[in-house]
Amino acid sequence: MSDTSGEMNRLSPPAVLRVERLAKSFGDLQAVDAISFHVAPGEIVGLVGPNGAGKTTTINMILGVLEPSAGRIEIEGVDLAADRSRALASTNFAAVYAPLPGNLTVEQNLRVFAMLYSVSNISARIERLLGVYDLARYRRTKAGLLSSGEQTRLSLAKAMLNHPRLLLLDEPTASIDPSNAREIRAGIAKFVDSGHCGVLWTSHNMYEVQAVCDRVLFLSHGRIVLEGDPKTLPDEHGAATLDDLFVNVAQEALNGRAVR
Amino acid sequence: MKGSRVGAIVLRILYLYRGSPARVFPIFVFVAVDIILWGFLTRYLNSVARADFNFVPALLGAVLLWDFLTRVMQQITMALFEDVWSRNFLNFFAAPLRTSEYLAGLLIISVITSCLSLVAMLAFARLAFGLSFLTYGVALAPFLMVLFLTGIALGITASALVLRLGPASEWLIWPIPMLISPFAGVFYPIAVLPKWMQAIAMFLPPSYVFEGMRAVVAGNPPPWDRLALGGGLALLYLVAACKFFFLVHRMVIRTGLIARYSAETVT
């Protein structure tokens, strides 16, 4: 098994995240069904699909908070199951359903998480991120008192604390206005352009996916049913927009038909 | 184990204490209320009982030591509840934090806060009722250590139950010391208990502490062999509690409960 995996790594392009035949079942329900994909450095990969498709289950497994039923996750070449702590040291995430503790201030939150991720030169890093995410004036404000948009910016600042090699973003712009969302997308794209980091990005906003993702994975019933460049995929599959393609794919998967 | 990650857990709780008088208040005030209540009761008992028996060390001392054990347990559980209430488990456990580092952080917080409580209790008992544990000197240390280890074991076990059963289980957690106290002989010798209760008391480390303290107050030398037995039991329970916590943590990762912890009761 490990020989095969090692062989695959030698033949495959470099990846910050490599997922092989990942599966998770809850009783009779197959939430994620033997999916394989990778995220390369400098690449933003969109993970899209209808509610209940298995996106968050997949992200939770990559974050090490949910044990897979089968399969393998490698982050920066480190097997998550074998050395969880080392694999997660080069990872970070932001998700709308995981706000930072509301009873700590912005600065306190960043300091605590900087220590958790063993960030060096913590004060300088916090100052830099407070500036980048326009949070400097809220440094002594409790996170729970921030607007949802400001909380999202704080979650993103926390996600950037350790210069992650793998960034997992679960609907990162879901609760912010279009202008802020555009700024945030641009900021992340710029960060990724440096080639240092790969991003796995889930969203229900197909405009956003088309704007930022280099590659998109359509997930339905726990399987990857379609994969490709979000800019060319609609044409290739006879859909007017990515939105239309999303609806078609979801309905075809629901009806049990093969996706073209 | 990485110091910065343990430090992060400690710092998070210290930040909460710094910004919240409501959290600092109970460390000092509730123990003071206990000392006042039991202090006056012992004074009254001294006035109506025979002159050669002093209730102050026997009863007030017992309250003080039992409060110490309860504080140690509660401080560990409270630190965990801070993460429950702020729905922070996903943020913490999706970080490189190890379970042992998280537990170590909770333990350090418990040491800091329960020591502060102890100092407050000792000072208050001395000033208000003339009870000075300092007269027992370093001999008191092993008694406190057994209670401390037991409190940690109880705190870790209670935390594991919360992790497994969900936030609503806090109502099961808080009465744990109260359930143990009748068997531990806090205020009376174990000999007055019926046989079946005495059998249970044999397995409770605090029962050796309170029997020992009564012997010391009566002017006898500390029963070191019995205290060592209590210490051994407390250590055994501590190891078992840590194993239980690791087991539960592994289970909540396997089932995904930890990622769905916003629900009040997780099943």
Confidence (pLDDT) at B23? 86
Domain-ending residue, one of A139, A163, A187: A163
Confidence (pLDDT) at A12? 60
The predicted-structure confidence for A123-144, as pLDDT tens digits, reads as follows 999 999 999 999 999 999 999 9
Q: Sort out which chain A residues have CB atoms less than 8 A from B267's CB and list them.
A: none
Q: Is residue A237 part of a domain?
A: yes
ipTM (interface predicted TM): 0.86
Number of H helices, E strands in chain B: 12, 0
Weakly modelled stretches of chain B, pLDDT under 50:
263-267
**A76 lies in the same domain as A107:** no
**A203 lies in the same domain as A247:** yes
Number of domains in chain A: 2
Nearest CB partner across the interface for B4, out of A66, A88, A118: A118
Confidence (pLDDT) at B195? 96
Residue of chain B whose alpha carbon sits nearest to that of A57? B256
The predicted-structure confidence for A235-244, as pLDDT tens digits, reads as follows 888 888 888 8
**A215 lies in the same domain as A249:** yes
Domain ranges for chain B, please list them. Answer: 3-260
Tell me the shortest Cα–Cα distance from A242 to chain B, in angstroms: 30
Its domain, for residue A176, covers 2-90+165-254
Q: What is the sign, positive or negative, of the torsion defined by CA atoms of A217, A80, A69, A72?
A: positive
Report CB contact under 8 Å: B253, A101. no
**A83 lies in the same domain as A27:** yes
**A177 lies in the same domain as A214:** yes
Tell me the shortest Cα–Cα distance from A94 to chain B, in angstroms: 9
Judge whether A169 and A188 are in contact, CB under 8 Å: yes
**A180 lies in the same domain as A214:** yes
What average pLDDT is seen over chain A?
Answer: 89
Nearest CB partner across the interface for B94, out of A57, A63, A115: A63
Residue of chain B whose alpha carbon sits nearest to that of A155? B91
CA distances from A193 to A42, A128, A132 (A): 6, 19, 17
Nearest CB partner across the interface for B11, out of A66, A98, A111: A111
Q: Is residue A95 part of a domain?
A: no
Which residues, at least 6 apart from A5, have a Cβ–Cβ distance to it below 8 Å?
A20, A72
Is residue A118 within 8 angstroms of chain B, CB to CB?
A: yes
Report CB contact under 8 Å: B256, A63. no
Domain-ending residue, one of A109, A137, A163: A163
Which amino acid type is present at position B196?
W
Nearest CB partner across the interface for B95, out of A56, A88, A95: A88
Q: Sort out which chain A residues have CB atoms less than 8 A from B15's CB and list them.
A: 104-105, 108, 112
Confidence (pLDDT) at B179? 92
Confidence (pLDDT) at A2? 44
**A29 lies in the same domain as A120:** no
Q: Is residue A71 part of a domain?
A: yes
**A171 lies in the same domain as A213:** yes
**A153 lies in the same domain as A174:** no
**A154 lies in the same domain as A205:** no
Choose from A80, A115, A166 for mutation: most chain B CBs within 10 A. Answer: A115
Q: Is residue A67 part of a domain?
A: yes
Report CB contact under 8 Å: B254, A93. no
Range A76-83 contact pairs with CB under 8 angstroms and sequence separation of 24 or more: A76/A16, A76/A165, A76/A166, A77/A9
Could you tell me the CATH number of the domain that includes residue A31?
Answer: 3.40.50.300
Domain-ending residue, one of A163, A188, A210: A163
**A86 lies in the same domain as A29:** yes
Q: Rounded CA gap, A75 and A15, in Å? A: 8
Q: Rounded CA gap, A76 and B201, in Å? A: 54
Rounded average pLDDT per 10-residue block, chain A, 260 residues: 49 82 92 95 93 90 94 95 94 90 95 96 96 94 92 93 94 83 87 88 90 93 92 88 86 60
Residue of chain A whose alpha carbon sits nearest to that of B10? A112
Is residue A213 within 8 angstroms of chain B, CB to CB?
A: no
Report CB contact under 8 Å: A65, B7. no
Give chain B's largest Cα–Cα span: 63
Tell me the shortest Cα–Cα distance from B80 to chain A, in angstroms: 13
Nearest CB partner across the interface for B11, out of A89, A105, A115: A115
Report CB contact under 8 Å: A104, B93. no
Confidence (pLDDT) at B267? 44
